[in-house]
Chains A and B, each alone.
Chain A
Amino acid sequence: MGEVEKLCDKVISTDLLIVGSEGAGGHAAIKAHSHGTSVLILTKGKIGQCGASQMAGVDFNVDGKTAKKLGFIGDDRDSPARFFEDLVREGLYLNNQKMVEKYVEYAPKAMKDLMDWGMRIYGYDSVHTEEMARGITSAGTYWVAAIRKKVKELKIPMLEDIMLIDLLIREGRIAGAIALNIKSGETILIKCKAIILATGGWHRAYSFHTGSYDLTGDGIGIAYRAGAELISMEMVQFCPITMVWPPKDRGSIALYVLSCIDPFDKYIQLVNNKGERFMEKYDPINLEKSTKEIVSIASELEVENGRGGPHGGIFFSLKHLRTKFIDAIIRIANNRIKNELKDTRYEFTTLIPELIKKCKTENIEVGNGAHYMGGGIKVNENTETTIPGLFAAGECSGGLWGAVRVASACTEVGVQGIIAGEVSPKYVKKVEQAEINENQVREILDRINKPLMRDEGITPNELTKKMHEISGKKVGLIKEGSLLKEATEELEEIINNDLKNLCITSTKSKELNDEWIKAIELRNLLTCLYLSAKSSLIREESRGEFYRRDYTYTDHDNWLKTIVMKQKNGELDIKFEKPVVTKISLPKGKLTYQEAIGVATASLKRE
């Protein structure tokens, strides 16, 4: 054993390392394995029991014409070309059109795989689009269970409850990675030729979010440190009607899901603390059925103007309905969920009926939870990042959606999982294992161990509070230059000082030391939040999911460009890139935000 092998507690070799085991990572692993590549999955949780995928509603998208070939009712008026056009137009033209083409082309393949692997399907619906039925519905839990079953069947090796810490780079390309076993505290040196990052979002940078505990932007932060380019970090989607209160239900999007389903969508009202149905003011025609963005912004404005609830939300209300009618809604919901779909998820079998029942006597406080990260590691249509040997798939990647995630993210992660699983084996065949840089390993180990050695400084809990204070107040849904500027300055200060001064004092034990894991995650969360604040400050317009109250126009003349960031010699390097165009040329002109997203009826004036 060489010197470098002795630095970590364990050494493992593989050709291809896949980080993240869910919709993107699991799918990629199965594909790469079928190409005869030696694959190792590394996941912070257990396969099928972590990440956002398990929590998804879930819907997948396939254009109506191709859906027919898969055996669904489909829609003959639809076509892959039409689906492509919708994605680019509704994404407000910031999409990488080559990636969109691949999305449309591979969507049926991803669907077919999941059907072959035995994922149960609920039905075919018009999710995400009004005009065209393109949605195949199921449950996130069925989705990840199908992937898990296939991965286990193929006996793909897995490291569970183990987290990626950093990438090892030699001469500009992947040489391996360092990982940490959360249960035992052991460090692992992984030698490999290529890596697919499929680590999902960075929800926990916000105190109010819809995701799971393992979503801490590790892949994005790690790729950035390794010198990869990131794109569109300002694009963060917030989900309206997310449960704010009580604490037990906080973060659940059950009521949002309900508000999208026929016939329940007809009866739902959102009211402020005066009982006023405030959407009448913001979008009198579409009301609660306005777009996700408008409903979110309107709720936020109500809260800002003192008409919110005690915990910072607005209210979901059925008070306009008679008790008997509410009982009927519960019966319909129960029948649909328990008898027709035979769904077993707590949110559906228990929480939804409980909440509707509660609506007989009270309103329920809901708000905008950080939900989906539109930006991330910059990839091309082949899931290649700017570092040779490094691929990214799923929510941790960026470039596909432009300014609004208008269709299924679950289809995105499957599509990119397949592509990464096809492309990376070819790369693996071409290259030799690069040598590990001993100094880099030492630096990484030294860095993660420091907080354990310190007896004074700032604790991970204190720093998390500081971060949440900033994300909640200054990098939220409605953005404003002066606040973003403060946020970037404060985050710079935190990254340069507090982050280097973290200390873990409650226990020095390395087994299941949540404080230690938090200290490691904070570096990634703060990187994501900082870069998001910074690119939000740079983008002086409003577009889709991105709303700046000091620049409310969607400015095609000046802002049809993406913001690309990377670390160069320890400094942040920022550039603009025109979106990749294949078929739809970029429009010109300046539209109001509402016109641009097609809700010309909405008024979002500040009071």
Chain B
Amino acid sequence: MEEKKIIKVKSFRFDPQKDEKPYYDTFNVPISGKMSVQDCLVYIRENEDPSLAFFINCRLGFCRRCLIRVNGKSCFSCLTDAEDDIVVEPLIKDQVIRDLWSKDI
């Protein structure tokens, strides 16, 4: 049987045009089957908050642009498994266009 589990994804949020300073939002994401951090972000964008900004393109490690920080460590969001609660942040926090997309990726 597939495990069904809910994890908490705590995401860095910041819209420099609107927000005075960054803040965090926490979303519940149901995990069924092995999911990447990017799958969780897609889930959030499709079901919880369509305004969440993050990078996605090839989903399989080819483009090497989906760099973010998961629990403080830099990684490719499409190649990183989401198994337990996580904190997601942009690669470079003081160079953010919006949310999880920092300028130079």
Contacts and interface: CB of A to CB of B under 8 A. Distances in A.
Interface of A: 45-46, 49-50, 54-55, 140-141, 183-184, 212-214, 245-252, 310, 345-347, 351, 459-461, 504, 506-507, 509, 511-515
Interface of B: 2, 15, 17-18, 32-36, 39, 45-46, 49-53, 56-65, 78-79, 81, 97-99, 101
Contact of B101 (A49, A250, A459, A512): A512
Contacts of B45: 461, 514
A347 B76 CA distance: 14
A213 B54 CA distance: 12
Contacts of A245: 33
Report whether over half of chain A's contact residues are helix, strand or loop; otherwise say mixed.
Answer: loop
Given A511-B15, A511-B17, A212 B63 contact: yes
14 contacts: A46-B65, A54-B58, A55-B62, A183-B101, A212-B63, A213-B56, A246-B33, A247-B35, A248-B34, A248-B36, A461-B46, A509-B51, A512-B53, A514-B53
Contacts of B101: 183, 512
Given A213-B56, A509-B51, 5 more contacts: A184-B97, A212-B59, A213-B57, A346-B60, A461-B46
Contacts of A212: 57-59, 62-63
Contacts, number: 102
A355 to B, nearest CB: 11
B50 A345 contact: no
A50 B50 contact: no
Given A46-B65, A49-B64, A248-B36, A506 B49 contact: yes
Contacts of A507: 15, 51
A346 B61 contact: yes
Contact of A248 (B35, B46, B64, B65): B35
A513 B101 CA distance: 11
A517 to B, nearest CB: 11
B42 to A, nearest CB: 9
Contacts of B36: 247-248
Contacts of B98: 509, 511-512
A78 B18 CA distance: 65
Given A346-B79, A509-B18, A248 B39 contact: yes
Contact of A512 (B34, B39, B97): B97
Nearest to B34: A246
Q: Give the residue among B39, B45, B60, B64 with the most A Cβ atoms within 10 A.
A: B60
B59 A251 contact: yes
Given A248-B36, A461-B50, A512-B97, A141 B62 contact: yes
Nearest to A214: B57
Nearest to A183: B97
A246 B56 CA distance: 18
Nearest to A54: B62
A351 B61 CA distance: 10
A155 B36 CA distance: 37
